A and B are shown apart, each in its own frame.
Chain A
């Protein structure tokens, strides 16, 4: 590909990418193709290099060293001259000075910034106080912790049951764990089936072996406690007075875009960073890609989120092209509907991974 940006010898263009996921790494790869001399810096709060989170359920089949999950080996970053600042927390972005402020009081200067921080798990307010009793599932460390906490043939109470959780549920069932799904309005997130369609999909989940508890009918989960002696480790209490037990409680209520650090940057934010189809924010030097951004949809006349590996990766590529002078527009190629596959199980383009 022909480089679109010709950097001067004295000051190569400084690209800073906040986020070390699919979008951020796709963008970095494309940026390097387009600007061989540019300075590319990825900032992440993870200690690990970019790894494939879609593969995390595999850790329940067999223990894998985290290196086996890496999308690229460490040498790739050295070869591509992509600097990765790991274990770094971004606290704010000063768009006037064009600086990313880090928690350790360092300011990283940029000429063009890409925000690709993705999302963090949403947890209903009534459960926040109990979060220490909930096993999260977003990282390699989390996955190992769940595996360690689960006894053989043990039970998992899955609150919510978004598509990330249901992907894990498929693995757990195959390994003879018991999965109890407590439904919530965000069950099947990011899909939003309603009415009869929703009931049909819930019925399919039951056919797959998932025990479905109608969380909405119970008034929702309001507390999680340690199980009493002789019972499983965790007890989930419902507003209507009922309860269920499990060895592990996990919450899967969907993701919220990670944008808090952008407050005060001057960019337009609704739930996510608002961008046009060129993925540029209201600040011409700041782009966004992945689960963190809401993209203007002419068709729907709203800013909306696009999820799934393929969408996110395409966003990373489009953002990189436009950060280097291109004029590309994002459009989804992914069918977004939840469906029943040939085996009669639910399936989702959200689970598709290239």
Chain B
């Protein structure tokens, strides 16, 4: 065994520190040089007793999704963790509380639910926490110590992160938590291991850039900051809230502005207003917020004002399932405004993609003078991955605006002048001699209202055609094919976070001798017709997996290309299982 590929699931109740433990774990192992993919699931209630799960996949090789089965499950609350015991693979380990407080009703203890092929490790977590810290709140740190000890991790990276995490709470809190970790570590080291969950010690790899552990939303923020976002307006909504929270810390440090508005309508209106003035502006929301923004998005399209909207999808419709992932806002992102409301919609497929898409969205918004929606989902927003950022600096063009020539005296400024590429030189308030009208009404090149059929037709064409150039936007991956080249039995056409699961399934299919390729479609509007069509030409069967009920992306592909695809649409509230995609690949590959 010379590589590591283990997945640890920590499960507890809200307030147990489950997510915090997962956070320390992923940062510690990332600091050791492992590759990490993580995803946290938490309850919709702000406080209470809902279930929290933090899953951390630790590998030496690049991987693209979480595994269906975990190698190690840690229970901080058996009532929540018991239903997940079956997720642990044979010869995997389950760590749980061996000395719970008070009476334990029959059948409510983890020990009764561990399958014969799994290895039980009852550890007195509470007792260890109380002995070393004087309270049981540090059980999550004891558990981290147990994990580190059992897996042979060095304690130093954990200790460093714990010190940093609790530094603001004073040295006594730091030392108590370190003591809790150490108690767990000693227990872990002294536990006789019967499972076969191992980590190969990782030499920290020399990296071509800065390696960071980022969630999708954190990567969006990093992208925004590196693209020199100037102004942000937002209204909190799960799972997009952390974008605003992080920017609220980051933007003021650079003398920039963030305002929490009274609702999403105000947020998008203010974003468009800021964009109109020349500020680099953005907002972030989820499906319900996007619905409220629909009308104002039409204004941005009509007035050709750059703005960026980050939309992190969750289960819908309506309030839906705020803490469950889904890819069901595609239609709303593409079409969710009255009129022919052309816009750019891009969807990253991993955390690094979140960073790139965030920065590139501003380039596109400014270059094509249009709203750009960056479509994330809860799985991607909350998923953590190790990301390598280039040392050569942000890969973004910070001056994508079309140059504005100086107006001659008495010359009229045609804000919406027709041009070969459909993009008009954009003036902002204060530009000498560039007075013009901005309106939501259809207008002529001067911006003055005009509803003649000629003007409406020409302007509609202008707003549509200028976006087509985005399909060749520099240094931006619109689509990408991976896997076998040439003719293949099965092609997977995927978008957003489901592409990671698709890739995992594809590699598993390769291992089973199935000829298979996958294409990720990052730009969803304008649609990359040629690239997708060429990919489909090579495939006997095209499989479209997506986490929505209607198969919205499959609809899009079929609507544009009028070619058949095999739909794999599911709404489990969780990422598409790799095995499900693999099963479909195998079924299709077996078809004559």
A interface residues, Cβ below 8 angstroms from B: 47-49, 66, 74-78, 83-88, 102-109, 141
Contacts and interface: CB of A to CB of B under 8 A. Distances in A.
B484 interface: no
A108 B111 CA distance: 12
B109 A78 contact: no
A48 B194 CA distance: 8
The SS class assigned to the A binding surface is mixed
Contact of A74 (B106, B116, B122, B192): B116
B115 A74 contact: yes
B111 A85 contact: yes
Interface in B91-138: 97-100, 102-106, 108-109, 111-112, 114-117, 119-122
A86 B111 contact: yes
A108 B106 CA distance: 6
B114 A86 contact: yes
A87 B105 contact: no
B120 A47 contact: yes
Nearest to B119: A47
Contact of B116 (A78, A104, A105, A107): A78
A106 B99 CA distance: 10
Interface string B340-360: 000000000000000000000
Contacts of B104: 102, 104-106
A104 B105 CA distance: 10
A325 B577 CA distance: 49
Given A74-B90, A75-B117, A105-B100, A88 B192 contact: no
A79 B129 CA distance: 39
B116 A49 contact: yes
Interface of B: 90, 97-100, 102-106, 108-109, 111-112, 114-117, 119-122, 192, 194
A83 B100 CA distance: 22
B111 A88 contact: yes
Contacts of A105: 100, 102-104
Most chain B CB inside 10 Å of its own CB: which residue of A47, A49, A77, A88 = A47
A8 to B, nearest CB: 20
B298 to A, nearest CB: 59
B108 to A, nearest CB: 7
A87 B116 contact: no
A109 B121 CA distance: 23
B194 A104 contact: no
Given A74-B115, A86-B114, A106 B98 contact: no
A85 B112 contact: yes
Contacts of A84: 116
Query: Could you say which of B99, B114, B116, B121 has the most chain A C-beta atoms within 10 Å of its C-beta?
Result: B116
Given A47-B120, A87-B122, A141-B192, A103 B115 contact: no
A148 to B, nearest CB: 12
Contacts of A109: 106
B130 to A, nearest CB: 16
Contacts of B194: 47-48, 66
Contacts of B102: 105
A74 B88 CA distance: 14
Nearest to A79: B116
A179 to B, nearest CB: 26
A113 to B, nearest CB: 15
23 contacts: A47-B194, A49-B116, A74-B117, A75-B116, A75-B117, A78-B117, A84-B116, A85-B111, A85-B112, A87-B98, A87-B120, A87-B121, A88-B111, A102-B104, A103-B99, A104-B97, A104-B98, A104-B104, A104-B111, A105-B100, A105-B104, A106-B106, A106-B112
B111 A87 contact: yes
A69 B82 CA distance: 29
A310 B112 CA distance: 30
| Nearest 3 interchain pairs by C-beta | A74-B117, A74-B116, A77-B116
Contacts of A74: 90, 115-117
A102 B111 CA distance: 11
Nearest to B122: A87
Contact of B112 (A75, A83, A141): A83
Contacts of B115: 74, 78
A64 to B, nearest CB: 13
A68 to B, nearest CB: 13
Contact of B106 (A75, A103, A107, A141): A107
Q: Which of A76, A85, A86 has the largest count of B CB atoms less than 10 A from its CB?
A: A86
A106 B105 contact: yes
Nearest to B93: A47
Contacts of A103: 98-99
Contacts of B111: 85-88, 102, 104, 106
A47 B121 contact: yes
A76 B120 CA distance: 18
A112 B122 CA distance: 27
Contact of B108 (A78, A88, A106): A106
B187 to A, nearest CB: 14
B464 to A, nearest CB: 61
Contact of B122 (A49, A75, A77, A104): A104
A87 B98 CA distance: 9
Contacts of A76: 116
Contacts of B114: 86
Contacts of B117: 74-75, 78
A141 B194 CA distance: 9
Contacts of A88: 111, 122
B197 to A, nearest CB: 14
Nearest to A76: B116
Contacts of A141: 192
Contacts of A49: 116
A350 B122 CA distance: 34
Nearest to B118: A74
Contacts of B109: 102, 104, 106
Contacts of A75: 116-117
A104 B90 contact: no
Nearest to A107: B106
Nearest to A83: B112
Contacts of A78: 115-117
B122 to A, nearest CB: 4
Contacts of B120: 47, 86-87
Contacts of B97: 104
A109 B105 CA distance: 11
Given A47-B120, A85-B112, A109-B106, 17 more contacts: A48-B194, A49-B116, A74-B90, A74-B117, A75-B116, A76-B116, A87-B111, A102-B104, A102-B109, A103-B98, A104-B98, A104-B109, A105-B104, A106-B105, A106-B106, A106-B111, A107-B106
A75 B118 CA distance: 11
